[in-house]
């Protein structure tokens, strides 16, 4: 019923008020927006404080439970020995780390967040113990048991290159909050932070499910996929939930 209501609203809502608007290609999307880094990089103090609070509180949401379920499943499948090594690509201030520590309170983790230099600089007070932050690929280890990218790859010009990079360094990969749709090819849209924003903020990919698996050479029968309960988008005249996927990287044996 909720899906029917949302689809009806989008059909009568003026296009300028819809959150996602399709454009020709990535360059057109960049030309029409402020850009992801500029939009999200101006003030991250709220996200930083949220992560600080996460280190003291154990408040969970559906999104928290989904990422914890995905990562713990990946750790089991990785058959890691010793302290689990986890890479969080675009993990900002380590919010997922604190959720995992809440779910696995007696487990030691070797958890690395890879993000933009200015984010890493802001995150420095949070670094220590099981959690570290790096801004350069050169600062990464040679191999990780699990690599995570949550609500990240769709905002990159070359998402497939980034995912291939994660697959090369990890035994298992978790892609969370990904727009995986039943469309014929990958498409680009400009995304607003909310329905009422006067301008588009950044470009975003919407992935063709078929092309996604084919181009990355991922077997669907080896992939655990479930829908994110709190992430939906109306695109190509369809309301669809985003997906979380857990699949083997190239270090999987």
pLDDT in tens, 133-180: 999 887 788 899 999 999 999 999 999 999 999 999 999 999 999 999
Residue 16 is predicted with a pLDDT of 45
Q: Output the pLDDT for position 103.
A: 87
What are the residue ranges spanned by the domains of the chain?
A: 2-248
| 228: Cβ contacts below 8 Å, ≥ 6 apart | 63, 66, 176, 177, 241, 242, 243, 244
The mean-pLDDT minimum among 38-52, 70-84, 108-122, 182-196 falls in 38-52
**E-state strands within 100-186:** 110-114, 131-134, 144-150, 170-178, 180-181
User: What pLDDT score does 229 carry?
Assistant: 87
pLDDT of residue 29: 87
Using CA atoms, how far residue 110 sits from 67, 70, 146, in Å, is 17, 17, 11
2-248, which class in CATH? Answer: alpha beta
Q: Whole-angstrom Cα distance, residue 105 to residue 98?
A: 10
Identify which has the larger pLDDT, 31 or 2: 31
30 contact partners, CB below 8 Å, separation of at least 6: 203
Residue-wise DSSP of 47-92: HHHHHHHHTT-----HHHHHHHHHHHHHHHHHT--SSPEEEEET-T
pLDDT at residue number 196: 54
- pTM passes above 0.75: yes
pLDDT at 236: 77
Q: What is the rounded end-to-end Cα distance, in angstroms, of the chain?
A: 44
């Amino acid at each position: 019923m909720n899906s029917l209501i949302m689809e009806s609203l989008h059909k009568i809502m003026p296009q300028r008020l819809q959150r996602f608007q399709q454009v020709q290609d990535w360059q057109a999307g960049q030309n029409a927006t402020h850009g992801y880094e500029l939009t999200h990089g101006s003030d991250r103090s709220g996200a930083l404080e949220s992560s600080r609070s996460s280190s003291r509180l154990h408040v969970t949401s559906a999104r928290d439970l989904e990422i914890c379920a995905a990562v713990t499943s990946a750790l089991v499948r990785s058959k890691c020995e010793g302290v689990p090594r986890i890479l969080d690509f675009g993990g900002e201030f380590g919010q997922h780390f604190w959720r995992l520590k809440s779910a696995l309170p007696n487990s030691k983790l070797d958890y690395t967040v890879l993000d933009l230099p200015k984010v890493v600089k802001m995150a420095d007070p949070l670094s220590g113990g099981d959690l570290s932050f790096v801004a350069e690929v050169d600062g990464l280890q040679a191999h990780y048991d699990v690599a995570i990218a949550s609500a990240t790859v769709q905002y990159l010009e070359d998402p497939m290159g980034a995912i291939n990079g994660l697959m090369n360094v990890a035994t298992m990969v978790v892609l969370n909050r990904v727009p995986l749709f039943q469309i014929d090819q990958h498409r680009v849209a400009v995304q607003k932070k909310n329905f009422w924003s006067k301008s588009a903020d950044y470009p975003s990919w919407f992935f063709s499910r078929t092309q996604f698996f084919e181009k990355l050479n991922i077997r669907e029968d080896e992939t655990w996929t479930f829908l994110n309960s709190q992430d939906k988008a109306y695109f190509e005249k369809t309301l669809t939930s985003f997906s979380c996927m857990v699949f083997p990287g190239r270090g999987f044996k």
